Each structure stands twice: as C-alpha cells, then as structure tokens.
Amino acid sequence: MRESGLSFSAADLAQTRFAVSPMWEVVTSFRLLRDEADPPLHRRWAAQVRPRLLGAGLDRGWLAALIPGPGYLADFLNPTPHGPFPELAAELAAIRRSTPEQVRQDIGVLAAKSRPAARLRLLHEEPEAALEKVTAEIETYWELALAPYWPRIRHLLEADVFHRARQVAEHGSAHVLNELHSTVSWDAGTLRLVRLHCSLSRAETGSGLLLVPSAFAWPRVLTRSVAPEPPQLAYPARGIGTLWEPRTTKACDAVAAVLGRSRTLLLAELDTPASTTQLAGHTGLSAAAVSQHLTALRDAGLVTGHRAGRSVLYARTAIADALLTPAG
C-alpha cells in the first residue's frame, strides 16, 4: 500500500471537470469479465454477457492481450474526452490517432509484466495497422456487452455527474473531491490517493483533473497520467448496487391503453435485453408477431436492436423506461 498526491493550484481547480466515458466502461467491464470470480454487483449482467464473448472469441483477442487482468491498463485505450458525454465513435477515433510512441510505451509496460503476446508485438511493430484491428474489436465487444445495456448504464453515470456538479455548486470542489472514494482525500490543496498500484503526481500530468464515474471500476479507483493531458481519475459511480435490479413497470395498464397489450408486454419483458425468439418464448406470441411489434416499437424510439452473433438483442430505451415507470 502506498500514497500518492496530486497538487492543485487555483487554475487546476478551475479546470477540474466530469465526463462520462464509454471507453472507461469498455476496459473496466472487460477486466471484470476476465476475472474468474463471480462479480457480486454485476452477476446478472455477467451471466448474460460471458457466453456471447466466448462465442465471439473475444476471450482470446486484442482486448484480452491489452487487458490481461488486474493492474496496469494501456493508457492509449482511455483518451481524454473533449466533452462531458462523448460518443464511443469519438473515443475510438482518438485511439486510432494515438502516436506510435505512446502505443510502444504502453506495450512496453505490459510486456514487462508478462510474456508479450503476438498481438502486443504487432502493436509495437505496426501500431497504426494494429490499432484499426483493436478498435474494430472494441466495436464488436460494445455491441455484445454494453450497447444493449447502455441506456441504463449511462443514466446511472449521468446521475452521478449531475449530483456531484450540484455538490460543487453548493459546497465547493474540495468537498466533492473528499467524498469521491474511501481511498481519496483532499488535504490542503493536494488530492491524496492510497493505492495498491499506480501513482499520480502533477509532475507526470497536465493541468486540471478529469473525473470519470464508472459502473465497473468498483471497488477501486483507477488513474491515467499522460502529459500534457489532464490526469484522469475513474471512480465508482453512486448507486451501482441498484444498477441491475429489475425495473418496476407500474404504468403498464395505462401504456397498454395507448400501445396495445402485446407491445406493452414486450416492453415489460425487455427489462433484460432479449432476442425475438426469447421474447416469443416468454410471452407466448408468435415470432412473426414479436418481430412486427418490435419494428413498430423501434420506429417509435422505444426499443433498440443490437447485433449479437447471429441474433439481434432488443433493449428498452430510456424513453420506454420513463414511460413504464412514471415519476410519482
């Protein structure tokens, strides 16, 4: 156990900001799935996703080489977001723009910790070509593991950002920094981290601080230090324990009066992403009827479809969630 400290000037505090990063969710969720232990907070999600990853061979691909387990994460996988809510496509474009020097430096750290895999050697020798393959695999992983669940995850992360932004306005930045995590504390202009791995100091980074709430970082805090960019600190978002709890659907009868009982039934079933075949089995509707209803619901912005191997998984959108669980 060791302690590191990040000193702050008035300018650094002024440049402290929050961002929701899809790539932080990619790397932290993939590392969680690689752990053989059953993740207590994400058991329901992991049980659905792991078979898809095995079927796609992602357990032995580029991400498996770059995220071998606990410890160091390649810094180029988490480029600095330019806004508070970047899209995955923007972050993938930033990864593809990583300099060969940055990639080789990160690969060197990974290689020092274990025997380099063939993919790591290719990244070192031909980084630009290899990064195209890395980002293509990330897109596949996203569709299988995160896209069907993203409205729910994003809502959690955005709620954390809005809560802490309000706390900054009411109590100041120092109060919020001191409340982030049990291993993080604010003391006389310095943010201190008690950590098992990694250090964080102003000498190794640019000005400011980027705070990134994460659904999958729990129970630890993760950092990224790449000068001259601002340091990043990924911390567990508030409310993770309720992320995968089944959503109540109190307004089904009222919604059914507008959408019809079959479409409302399908929306209620989509508390967990499912395929047409699975929905037909759960509801007793024919596969053809399910497909027809899903098309209408997708056109209305109430469901989204995500390719998962030979199947398409359908998921409720945030609009549908709000429709089925009205406030009050």
Report residue 216's pLDDT band, with 50, 70 and 90 as the boundaries: very high
Report residue 117's pLDDT band, with 50, 70 and 90 as the boundaries: confident
Residue 307 main-chain phi, psi, to 5 deg: -65, 130
Provide the 3-class DSSP secondary structure of residue 18: strand
Provide the 3-class DSSP secondary structure of residue 200: coil
Strands in the chain per DSSP E: 2-7, 16-18, 184-187, 190-195, 209-214, 222-224, 232-236, 303-308, 311-316
pLDDT at position 3 over 80: no
Q: What is the dihedral of CA 289, 292, 293, 297, to 10 degrees?
A: 170
pLDDT at position 302 over 70: yes
What whole-number distance in Å separates Cα of residue 286 and Cα of residue 264? 15
Of 141 and 175, the structure prediction assigns the larger pLDDT to: 141
Report residue 143's pLDDT band, with 50, 70 and 90 as the boundaries: very high
Average pLDDT of the residues of the chain: 87
Residue type, 299: D
CB contact set of 169 (below 8 Å; sequence gap of 6+): none
What is the structure's pLDDT at 327?
58
Question: What confidence tens digit (pLDDT) does each residue in 248-277 have?
Answer: 666 778 888 888 989 988 888 888 888 899
Residue 80 and residue 232 in contact, taking contact as beta carbons nearer than 8 Å: yes
What is the structure's pLDDT at 198?
55
Of 13 and 163, the structure prediction assigns the larger pLDDT to: 163
Residue 76 main-chain phi, psi, to 5 deg: -70, -15
Positive or negative torsion for Cα 137, 220, 75, 167: positive
pLDDT at position 227 over 70: yes
Question: What confidence tens digit (pLDDT) does each residue in 13-64 have?
Answer: 888 899 999 999 999 999 999 887 778 899 999 999 999 999 999 999 999 9
Of 86 and 203, the structure prediction assigns the larger pLDDT to: 86
Question: What confidence tens digit (pLDDT) does each residue in 119-135 have?
Answer: 889 999 999 999 999 99
Positive or negative torsion for Cα 25, 30, 32, 38: positive
Residue 129 main-chain phi, psi, to 5 deg: -65, -40
DSSP assigned state of 172: -
Q: In the chain, where are the structural domains located? A: 2-241, 252-324
* pLDDT (mean) for 177-198: 76
Residue 68 and residue 114 in contact, taking contact as beta carbons nearer than 8 Å: yes
pLDDT at position 220 over 60: yes
In the 3-class helix/strand/coil scheme, how is 113-147 assigned residue by residue? HCCCCHHHHHHHHCHHHHHHHHHHHHHHHHHHHHH
DSSP assigned state of 310: T
What is the structure's pLDDT at 271?
83
- The residue among 269, 236, 318 whose CA lies nearest residue 39 is 236
* pLDDT (mean) for 274-302: 91
Residue 71 and residue 63 in contact, taking contact as beta carbons nearer than 8 Å: no
What is the structure's pLDDT at 196?
47
What is the structure's pLDDT at 323?
85
- How many CB atoms are closer than 10 A to CB 82? 10
What are the structure tokens assigned to 255, written together? 């919604």
Residue type, 174: A
Question: What confidence tens digit (pLDDT) does each residue in 56-110 have?
Answer: 999 999 999 998 777 788 899 999 998 899 999 999 999 999 999 999 999 988 8
**What CATH architecture does domain 252-324 belong to?**
Orthogonal Bundle (1.10)
DSSP β-bridge partners for residue 304: 315
Alpha helices, H only, 284-326: 287-299, 318-324
Residue type, 298: R
What whole-number distance in Å separates Cα of residue 138 and Cα of residue 91? 11
